[in-house]
A = this chain, B = another copy of it.
């Protein structure tokens, strides 16, 4: 999804664009050579959950690239018209078919080299039922000792799981921010 400077034509009129700095701006944008429409490119939000049931955590094995075959927390791109919490609930339903009660915001993780911000919520599974969707090979619950640390899909997932188990040991959950370089 991270394709900066990929706008070759204007979304309004279809004419070619060129990358230049508009008069009232301080960085290059794709500007239409015919109608002067300025096209902005901005970071995307990925929203997900840390679903827990009886002390175990739900992970999904990815059936899509990137990182197909690796394990992830349920998460995906936030859509227009929804909140971060609604997106996190939706992705958990789509990828794992899990019923959850959403808890507080848990991690806020910048991944600037791919133009993304990842936000994970704590969640409690309200039923053991799982029904993975087409983007998931399998979904299952892991004790802390069973977590496949070497087969995790993304560093934001590792960071979020590490903070989760740390906070659970201390008996107090915070909201954690970090940058993934």
Contacts and interface: CB of A to CB of B under 8 A. Distances in A.
Interface of A: 1, 4, 6-16, 24, 26-27, 39-45, 77-86, 94, 104-105, 108, 110, 112, 115, 117, 119, 134, 174-175, 177, 179
A14 B115 CA distance: 25
A86 B117 CA distance: 13
A113 to B, nearest CB: 8
A27 B14 CA distance: 24
A177 B11 contact: no
B80 A43 contact: yes
Given A43-B80, A78-B43, A115-B80, A108 B110 contact: no
Copies of the polypeptide in the assembly:
2
Contacts of A175: 105, 174-175
Contacts of A42: 44-45, 77-80
Contacts of A115: 80-81
Q: Which of A4, A12, A84 has the most CB of B within 10 A?
A: A84
B9 A177 contact: no
Contacts of A4: 80-81
Contacts of A119: 108
A108 B78 CA distance: 15
A43 B81 CA distance: 8
A8 to B, nearest CB: 6
